[in-house]
């Protein structure tokens, strides 16, 4: 009797495990962000700390705020999908070359996106020297992305990057 109960319990646990594995959802999405460093239309601000207001003087303790746009393609004229907002802090004396930029950001999707009203939140330490790629952790999301976690890579999209405009390709690997 006890072995029959153990056998039944084992079968039930196996079926539950298989159901979880079968129903896991995976999602891969890519888009581009556009960052403008300086000028009246700037979307990245060296807000405080060393180098406040001066990108060439950024260093340990610098605090940056981000308000970039998200587009479908790498050109600034492609469909705007939403906003990429957040902040970054230089946490080591060596800056980006020393792997010391901590980011906490959110990708918010607007009306032109099929993910309208949804968002993805990320964090991470940009540890690779330029030009990347940089990897961040996906903490989770809202709306369409509720329950998803994963990781994302970002790297400069060099054919369209001309200072002071910097274009980055983002690729997200999400799992629910």
State the residue for tokens 């970002």.
154
| 42: containing domain | 26-175
Q: Which helix (H) or strand (E) holds 10?
A: helix 2-23
Assign residue 102 the CATH number of its domain. 2.40.480.10
This prediction's pTM: 0.80
Q: Say if 6 falls within a structural domain.
A: no
In whole angstroms, how far apart are CA 144 and each of 80, 88, 139? 18, 26, 14
Query: What number of CA atoms fall less than 13 Å from residue 94's CA on the CB side?
Result: 9
Do the beta carbons of residue 115 and residue 87 sit within 8 Å? no
Q: Say if 13 falls within a structural domain.
A: no
52-95 pLDDT tens trace:
666 667 778 888 899 999 999 999 899 999 999 999 998 888 76
Give the separation between CA 82 and CA 110, rounded to whole angstroms: 5
């Amino acid at each position: 009797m006890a072995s029959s109960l153990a056998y039944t319990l084992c079968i039930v646990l196996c079926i539950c495990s298989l159901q979880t594995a079968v129903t896991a959802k995976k999602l891969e999405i890519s888009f581009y962000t556009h960052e403008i460093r300086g000028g009246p239309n700037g979307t990245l601000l060296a807000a405080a700390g060393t180098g406040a207001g001066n990108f060439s003087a950024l260093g340990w303790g610098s605090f940056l705020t981000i308000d970039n746009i998200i587009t479908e393609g790498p050109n600034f004229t492609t469909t705007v999908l939403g906003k990429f907002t957040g902040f970054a802090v230089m946490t080591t004396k060596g800056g980006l070359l020393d792997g010391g930029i901590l980011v906490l950001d959110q990708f918010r999707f607007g009306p032109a996106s099929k993910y309208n009203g949804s968002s993805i939140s990320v964090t991470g330490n940009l540890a690779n020297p330029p030009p990347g790629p940089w990897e961040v952790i996906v903490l989770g999301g809202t709306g369409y992305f509720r329950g998803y976690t994963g990781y994302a890579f970002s790297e400069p999209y060099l054919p369209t990057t001309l200072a002071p405009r910097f274009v980055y390709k983002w690729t997200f690997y999400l799992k629910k």
